[in-house]
Amino acid sequence: RIDMANGIKHFREKAGLTKAELARRVGTTRPQMGRLEEEDGPNGRKLTLKWAERIAPHLNVRPEELMFPELAAIDVSKFNQVFEIAGGKNQTPGLVLDPEFLARMLP
């Protein structure tokens, strides 16, 4: 479980980057990156879609994963197994649903 307001810190650490290095790549300052990362803190700043779109490519994630990190924690492999069983071996199921879409829709 990812327990934070946004996923910047989680994905930054996973990528092995410091705040300063991520800030440099994004084209902002380290203090600004800190404010975005700690949006619930006393000096925090809300992560907007515009900022998420700027930051996400440098962390190899989608902007929505930064804004809603709990979505990134969902294991979609279980959905893939269900679809494989439903389709049977060498058969195509009548209805194909995107597992990532389902994962976003479920709690």
Helix/strand/coil for 55:
helix
Domains annotated for the chain, with CATH where assigned, are 8-72 (1.10.260.40), 74-107 (no CATH)
CA-CA distance, 55 to 25, in Å (whole number)?
8
User: What pLDDT, in 10s, does the model give residues 63-76?
Assistant: 988 888 776 666 66
d(CA 69, CA 54): 16
Contact 20, 30 (CB under 8 A): yes
- Looking up tokens 């060498």, which residue turns up? 90
Segment 24-55, tens digit of pLDDT: 999 999 999 999 998 777 777 888 999 999 99
Structure tokens at 106: 């479920």
Confidence of residue 1 (pLDDT cuts 50, 70, 90): very low
Pick from 8-17, 40-49, 75-84, 97-106 the range whose average pLDDT is largest. 8-17
Per the CB < 8 A criterion, the answer to whether 84 and 96 are in contact is no
Q: Tokens at residue 83, please?
A: 């679809």
Mean pLDDT lowest among 3-7, 14-18, 49-53, 102-106? 102-106
